[in-house]
């Protein structure tokens, strides 16, 4: 009887146990990694026939034991790192987390980690940084902030603090701590002084420990009046004409981080009202837009860009915005939306306006569809502004200037006899970079009859650009050199952006 009872208990335990695949999925690792851990004795398992099984209690014990603990943090070393960070910041306000973690921090080590994390956020917020990057190296972790599109080192923290710092960030962002083998995403909200930030967090497993990127988003910064985007009066009028059009396809192109979303959102801010039905599908929805029905992509549920765009047609919209065109089907659907009586706004990754058109054709969209629906295309970059506090007259290198001037001439701009070139020496106001803030460099194309004819003939990007310049378009090089000649940015910055 005793043996039967033992067998029954063992069978009951076996029924509750997880298979190798299930256990690996729970821990966020591969089957081979979990098997290797079992062979090494790091995690307990047992054989059921020829298959390995793992009890949930054993997995839970392993998870707790493997979590990054603040107990290993050297408070003195971390304090030394913080003192270095304090030298680079002014009287930055403290950080208020919304919501704060219940019961955290508790120990002296946890308090040191939380203090370090708060100092990083406050410093980045004070400097108007867009992102914070934390990357583990062999003996330490490097923390950097992105200022005006360029990464600058903030501080280096001891390697012993890296795991606890990442765990602290994950806890605030609502990211599970037990899945360090997979990329993860989360978010949290903070208040620094009077400003509120939405902090988008992404982690990535790396050789020396998890890499973390936190993007600091301020709700008010995306709603910029069109006059403040940095467009020339002529380009601004082209964009406004496109926004007022009842039908057509409007595309903003450029690399990641070039301000495409800001331009589209600022345009929507000007035209959206309670009298219009405006719908958007985004991945993710980064800001809340007034008078706009916003939909977030959810691939697990089957809600892709394509599915959302097709569903929008049943909701009688006046204006539709799609975060990005990524494939032939979404591009064709966008063109169909434009051709059936709607204003369709979207983005595309391309170097300039002519290549945007070529990209659509290369995707497989029929030339007649592109020619018939395309209303307006712009390409853009974000150039750093010369610091207003330490800016001084500049004499660019002849070779660099002559090459850019030739490109600008072909793009519709002649350098004046007395340009006002400037550069920044570097000061406390600009964190010794010589730049503070950014402005847009634009190339705005209205698609008229000549361009429609070239699109139908599948003309080259060079032919399309030349025709657009004849029609009044100024290229990125032309607009960039114009802003450098006016002292807004530097020749070196324009050359860096355009290559």
Output the domain CATH number for residue 163: 3.30.450.90
Look at residues 66, 89, 111 and tell me which one is the last residue of a structural domain: 66
- Which pLDDT belongs to residue 377? 98
Cβ neighbour number for residue 220 with a 10 Å cutoff: 9
Q: How many domains does the chain fold into? A: 3
Whether the ω angle into residue 378 lies within 30 degrees of 0, i.e. cis, is no
Give the domain-ending residue among 66, 89, 115.
66
Q: Which of 168, 99, 169, 155 is nearest to 127 (CA)?
A: 155
**Count of residues for the chain?**
499
- Dist CA 435 CA 335 (whole Å): 40
Question: In sequence order, what are the residues at sequence separation of 6 or more whose Cβ sits closer than 8 angstroms to the Cβ of residue 8?
Answer: none
C-alpha span between 499 and 479 (Å, rounded): 15
Residues 348 and 473 in one domain: yes
List for the chain the helix, strand, coil content (%; round to 5): 45, 25, 30
The terminus-to-terminus CA distance of the chain in angstroms comes to 83
89 and 39 in one domain? no
Identify the residue whose tokens are 């995690």.
43
Q: Looking up tokens 């324009």, which residue turns up?
A: 494
**Structure confidence at residue 1 (pLDDT):** 44
CB 200 within 8 A of CB 132: no
Looking up residue 477, the CATH number of its domain turns out to be 3.40.50.300
Q: Identify whether the C-beta of residue 392 lies closer than 8 Å to the C-beta of residue 423.
A: yes
Q: Are residues 245 and 206 in the same domain?
A: no
| Cα–Cα distance for residue pair 224/239, rounded to 1 Å | 14
What's the CATH code of the domain at 17?
1.10.1660
Q: Which two tokens stand for residue 119?
A: 């100092």
Of 66, 101, 116, the domain-final residue: 66
Per the DSSP assignment, residues forming a β-bridge with 197 are 190
Angle at 95 between CA 89 and CA 97, to 5 degrees: 155
The answer to whether residues 431 and 152 touch, using CB atoms and an 8 Å cutoff, is yes
The alpha carbon dihedral of 314, 319, 325, 331 has a sign of positive
Phi, psi of 282 (to 5 degrees): -135, 160
Provide the 8-state DSSP code for 323.
Answer: S
* Structural contact between residues 188 and 169, judged by C-beta atoms closer than 8 angstroms: no
**Same domain for 299 and 441?**
yes
What pLDDT is stored for residue 57 in this prediction? 84
Q: Tell me the angle at which helices 449-456 and 461-470 cross, rounded to the nearest 10 degrees.
A: 170
Paired strand residues for 346: 251, 322
Confidence (pLDDT) at 43: 83
15: containing domain = 2-66
With b for 16 or more beta-carbon neighbours within 10 A and e for fewer, the 278-302 pattern comes to bbbbbbeebbebeebebbebeeeee
- pLDDT tens string for the chain (499 positions)? 444 444 444 444 444 788 888 888 776 667 777 887 788 777 888 988 888 998 888 887 776 555 566 767 878 888 887 777 776 655 456 788 888 777 777 788 888 888 889 999 999 998 889 999 999 988 889 999 999 989 999 999 888 889 889 989 998 998 887 677 789 999 999 988 888 899 999 999 988 889 999 999 886 666 678 998 999 999 999 999 999 999 999 999 999 889 898 899 999 989 999 999 999 998 878 778 889 999 998 888 889 889 999 999 899 999 999 988 888 999 999 999 999 999 999 999 999 999 999 999 999 999 999 999 999 999 999 999 999 999 999 999 998 899 999 999 999 999 999 999 999 999 988 888 999 999 999 999 999 999 999 999 999 999 999 999 999 999 999 999 999 999 999 999 999 999 8
Residues 387 and 362 in one domain: yes
How many C-beta neighbours within 10 Å does residue 51 have? 11
Q: Are 200 and 238 in the same domain?
A: no
- Cα separation, 336 vs 437, in Å, equals 39
DSSP string for 96-112? EEESPPTT-S-SHHHHH
Predicted confidence at residue 7, as pLDDT, reads: 45
Q: Does the predicted TM-score (pTM) go above 0.75? A: yes
Asked whether 221 and 316 are in contact (CB, 8 A), the reply is no
Q: What is the pLDDT of residue 71?
A: 64
How do beta strands 51-54 and 18-19 pair?
antiparallel
pLDDT given for residue 87 in this prediction: 64
Cβ within 8 Å of residue 433, ≥6 positions away: 147, 148, 150, 152, 384, 387, 424, 426
Give the DSSP letter of residue 315. Answer: G
Q: Indicate whether 54 and 82 sit together in one domain.
A: no
**Residues 190 and 209 placed together within one structural domain of the fold:** yes
State how beta strands 343-348 and 319-322 pair: parallel
Q: Quick one: 25 and 97 in the same domain?
A: no
Task: Tell which residue, 278, 280, 285, 144, has the closest CA to residue 219.
Answer: 285
Regarding whether 294 and 164 lie in a shared domain, the answer is: no
- 79 and 25 in a common domain: no
pLDDT for 68 equals 62
Q: Are residues 399 and 487 in the same domain?
A: yes
User: What backbone phi and psi angles, to 5 degrees, belong to 283?
Assistant: -140, 90
DSSP 443: E
Q: Is the bond preceding 105 in cis, omega lying within 30 degrees of 0?
A: yes
């Amino acid at each position: 009887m005793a043996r039967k009872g033992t067998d029954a208990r063992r069978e009951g335990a076996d029924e509750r146990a997880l298979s190798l695949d299930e256990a690996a999925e729970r821990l966020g690792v591969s089957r081979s990694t979990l098997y290797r851990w079992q062979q090494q004795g790091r995690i307990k398992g047992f054989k059921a026939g020829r298959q390995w099984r793992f009890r949930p209690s054993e997995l839970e014990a392993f998870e707790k034991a493997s979590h990054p603990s603040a107990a290993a943090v050297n408070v003195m070393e971390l304090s030394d790192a913080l003192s270095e960070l304090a030298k680079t910041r002014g009287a930055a306000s403290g950080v208020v987390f919304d919501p704060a973690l219940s019961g955290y921090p508790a120990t002296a080590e946890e308090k040191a980690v939380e203090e370090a994390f708060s100092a990083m956020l406050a410093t980045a917020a004070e400097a108007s940084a867009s992102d914070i990057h934390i990357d583990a190296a062999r003996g330490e972790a490097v923390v950097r902030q992105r200022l005006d599109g360029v990464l600058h080192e903030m501080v280096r923290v001891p390697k012993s603090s890296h795991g606890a710092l990442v765990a602290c960030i994950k806890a605030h962002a609502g990211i599970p701590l037990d899945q360090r083998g997979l990329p993860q995403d989360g978010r949290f909200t903070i208040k620094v002084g009077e400003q509120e930030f939405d902090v988008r967090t992404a982690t990535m497993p790396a050789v020396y420990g998890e890499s973390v990127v936190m993007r600091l988003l301020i709700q008010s910064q995306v709603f910029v009046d069109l006059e403040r985007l940095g467009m020339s009066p002529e380009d601004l009028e082209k964009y406004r004409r496109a926004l007022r059009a009842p039908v057509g396809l409007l595309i903003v192109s450029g690399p990641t981080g070039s301000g495409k979303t800001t331009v589209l959102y600022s345009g929507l801010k000007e035209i959206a009202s309670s009298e219009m039905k405006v719908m958007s599908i985004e991945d993710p929805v980064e800001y809340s837009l007034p008078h706009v029905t916003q939909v977030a992509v959810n691939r697990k549920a089957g809600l892709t860009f394509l599915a959302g765009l097709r569903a929008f047609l049943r909701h009688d919209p006046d204006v539709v915005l799609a975060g990005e065109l990524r494939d032939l089907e979404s591009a064709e659907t966008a063109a169909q939306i434009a051709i059936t009586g709607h204003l369709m706004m979207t983005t595309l990754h391309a170097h300039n306006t002519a290549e945007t058109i070529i990209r659509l054709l290369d995707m497989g969209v029929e030339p007649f569809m592109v020619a018939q629906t395309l209303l307006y295309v712009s390409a853009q970059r974000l150039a750093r502004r010369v610091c207003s506090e330490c800016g001084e007259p500049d004499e660019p290198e002849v070779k660099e200037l002559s090459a850019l001037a030739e490109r600008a001439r072909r793009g519709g701009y002649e350098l004046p006899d007395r340009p006002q070139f400037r550069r920044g020496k570097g000061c406390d106001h600009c964190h010794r970079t010589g730049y503070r803030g950014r402005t847009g460099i634009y190339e705005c194309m209205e698609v008229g009859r000549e361009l429609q004819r070239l699109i139908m003939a599948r003309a080259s990007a060079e032919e399309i650009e030349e025709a657009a310049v004849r029609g009044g378009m100024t290229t990125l090089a032309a607009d960039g050199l114009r802003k450098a000649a006016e002292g807004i940015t530097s020749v070196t910055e324009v050359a860096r952006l355009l290559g």
